[in-house]
Amino acid sequence: MSEPFINKVAESGLITLDLEKWYPRGEAAVFDMKDYLFMGMILKEKDFREALKQMDWSVYEGKNVAVTCSADAVIPVWAYMLVAAYLQPVAKEIVMGDEKELHKALFLKNLSSINLEEYTDKRVVIKGCGETPIADYVYMEITKILRPVVKSIMYGEPCSTVPVYKKK
């Protein structure tokens, strides 16, 4: 008789961590200060304050909002603070920067919510490929987060991994 098939990967005790689980979700929007510049260069306080008062902020309801200025202009700090004061009650999240910076900030925030107890003294494989492209900074950040608690970190798939860290 032939011997039964033994799944060594399943018996190895490896935990696969799929970073797609923490991929930012939700609709994103951009609030661009350039739309409020006088002659494309200057932010006039009185006009800016009035424009913000008249604005329909409900368009940002429940959205992740990037606050930026795509024009080459000097924007006073209080202007960003003022926009945040209006956005905070309606937006899900607010980040100063463009859409890429918004995405990064949200991803890092999501990663910070990982329950480290699930990974303490475990052998963890960070899944290397999937449906959603994951930026390199995410892999570096997850390594920084997990290294203090795990037994080992590997990259790839349970059947073919690259060792990254092993506790001594």
pLDDT of residue 2: 66
Report residue 152 as tokens.
């080992």
**Side chain identity at residue 82, one-letter code:** L
Residue 50: the pLDDT is: 97
* Cα 106 to chain centroid, rounded: 3
Q: Residue 6 burial (CB < 10 Å; 0-12/13-18/19+)?
A: exposed
SS3 category, 112: coil
* Closest of 110, 95, 98 to residue 69, by C-alpha: 98
Cα 30 to the chain's mean position, in Å?
Answer: 16
Give the span between the Cα atoms of 55 and 137, in whole angstroms: 36
- Let me know: does 51 contact 36? Beta carbons within 8 Å: yes
Q: How far apart are CA 44 and CA 144, in angstroms?
A: 44
Q: What is the pLDDT of residue 7?
A: 42
- Listed by start position, the domains of the chain span 8-24+107-166, 28-91
Question: In what order do the strands lie in the sheet containing 93-96?
Answer: 28-32, 64-68, 93-96
Q: Which pLDDT belongs to residue 119? A: 95
Pair 107, 24: CB distance under 8 Å:
yes
Burial class (CB in 10 A: 0-12, 13-18, 19+), 95: buried
pLDDT at residue 11 in the model: 46
pLDDT value at residue 6: 42
Q: What is the pTM of this model?
A: 0.84
Angle between helices 136-146 and 99-111 (to 10 degrees): 20
Q: What is the pLDDT of residue 12?
A: 58
Tens digits of pLDDT across the chain (168 residues): 566 544 444 445 799 999 999 999 999 999 999 999 988 888 999 999 999 999 999 999 999 999 999 999 989 999 999 999 999 999 999 999 999 999 999 999 999 999 999 999 999 999 988 888 899 999 999 999 999 999 999 999 888 899 999 998
